[in-house]
Amino acid sequence: MKYITKTVWVLSLVSLFTDTASEMLYPIMPIYLKSIGFSIVLIGVLEGFAEATAGLSKGYFGKLSDLKGKRVPFVQLGYALSALSKPMMAIFTWPVWIFLARTTDRFGKGIRTGARDALLSDEATPETKGKVFGFHRSMDTLGAVIGPLIALVYLYFFPQHYKVLFFIAVIPGLLAIFASFLLKEKKMDVTKTKTDASFFAFLKYWKISPRDYRKVVIGLLIFTLFNSSDVFLLLKAKQSGLDDTMVIGLYIFYNLIYALFAFPMGILADKLGLKRVFLLGISIFAVVYFCMSLNANLYILFGLFFLYGIYASATEGISKAWISNISDKKDTATAIGTFSAFQSVCTMLASSLTGLIWFQFGATIAFIITASATLVVVIYFFIIPINADLRAEK
């Protein structure tokens, strides 16, 4: 475990605390917004705007982190903004204020993502990237188990007292801020050139990025374009006859499996190759969506969500480890930030596309299309030669 350095531990704990705070509010966010007068349309606009802000800012601040040669200030500021945004949503209920608070949360994610992942990459070698990113994902996702459990227990004793949860979420948020101050900035070699950048300057990286980077990212983005929000899986489970408690239970179960297997999958990826394990993950994803297109009972649903947790553990952290291995070290934050920016846009389009297909043709067709598109991505990665998957060919 020598490869799990102090910096990796601190970043993992910061992510755990932050995700605990965020996921504590995730199950009740739509209910709370409706209780203060938000329509479904306005909720959709709010989430779309917030995610667009996060996505585009990931690219900009990733580029800025590389230009400045600094990581820690971006990480600290990003997590601080996300923590402070939680109580903001409970203090006032004006739509403009809610938009500001939610956007602040996502803006914080945009500021920190590229720099944080670059820090993780700097702490690893090409042979340990899977382990390091996998460990971080395990700790991060553990927060997605703890947060909803806290919310369920609280709402069991205090039903419909949603505002208090926003203030409770401040506690893990503050712990994340305090933990982030344990990070130490490492000196980076930075070329003394112009260090300012326009908001879309990261787009230029695509033209100068390594060919293997573009090959990998194109495949990842095609997959993302059909990988809609997990809400659709939960909605399908609801349609299969589960009550609200069981649906939330499924969500917690999925995150628990994800958290338990992300680190072992990272270890496996370092042995077998990042590409191979990633392809295993999205193949499992295709199987889950094909099966979810059919009616399923409770036991089958838990089995499918178990597999869905395995899919997430084999792809989320590993895709970033893969990207960091095929980009220059000096451009790590830019490379990950650029991918994350494009990914956010594709994620928004994916959910809109799936929702439209579901509305017009039903859930079965929507899920079959997603599964079929995923198999096309698997074939793409088998056909396209990628020379920089450093561990896959060994």
CA-to-CA separations, 173 to 72, 86, 93, 137, 375, in angstroms, rounded: 17, 8, 21, 18, 39
Model confidence over 119-163: pLDDT tens digits? 998 888 888 888 999 999 999 999 989 998 998 888 888 877 888
Are 233 and 350 within 8 A, CB to CB?
no
Q: Tell how many helices (H) and how many strands (E) occur in the chain.
A: 17, 0
DSSP 335-348: HHHHHHHHHHHHHH
| pLDDT at 299 (0 to 100) | 85
Of 316 and 280, more confident: 280
Q: How far apart, in whole angstroms, are the C-alpha atoms of residue 74 and residue 54?
A: 14
Report phi then psi at 198, rounded to 5.
Answer: -75, 165
Confidence of residue 391 (pLDDT cuts 50, 70, 90): very low
Tell me which residue of 321, 340, 334, 337 sits closest to 390, measured CA to CA. 321
Mean pLDDT value across residues 344-373: 85
Angle between helices 95-122 and 6-25 (to 10 degrees): 160
Which contacts (CB < 8 Å, 24+ apart) does range 364-370 have? 364/293, 364/294, 365/293, 366/232, 366/293, 367/236, 367/289, 367/290, 367/292, 367/293, 368/289, 368/290, 368/293, 369/226, 370/226, 370/227, 370/228, 370/289
Mean pLDDT value across residues 306-323: 92
Confidence of residue 34 (pLDDT cuts 50, 70, 90): confident
| pLDDT at 96 (0 to 100) | 82
What are the sequence ranges of the domains in the chain? 6-184+203-383
Can you tell me which residue has the tokens 């806290």? Answer: 150
Amino acid letter, residue 112: R
The Cβ of residue 122 has, within 10 Å, a number of other Cβ atoms equal to 17
Residues recorded for the chain: 394
Q: How far apart, in whole angstroms, are the C-alpha atoms of residue 75 and residue 61?
A: 10
Q: How far apart, in whole angstroms, are the C-alpha atoms of residue 368 and residue 370?
A: 5
Q: How far apart, in whole angstroms, are the C-alpha atoms of residue 285 and residue 262?
A: 15
Prediction pTM value: 0.83
DSSP type of residue 327: S
Write out the E strands in the chain: none
DSSP type of residue 240: T
| pLDDT at 394 (0 to 100) | 39
| pLDDT at 52 (0 to 100) | 73
| pLDDT at 17 (0 to 100) | 95
- Round the average pLDDT of the chain to a whole number and report it: 84
Tell me which residue of 152, 319, 168, 180 sits closest to 246, measured CA to CA. 152
Q: How far apart, in whole angstroms, are the C-alpha atoms of residue 30 and residue 32?
A: 5
CATH of span 6-184+203-383: 1.20.1250.20
Q: How far apart, in whole angstroms, are the C-alpha atoms of residue 273 and residue 265?
A: 11
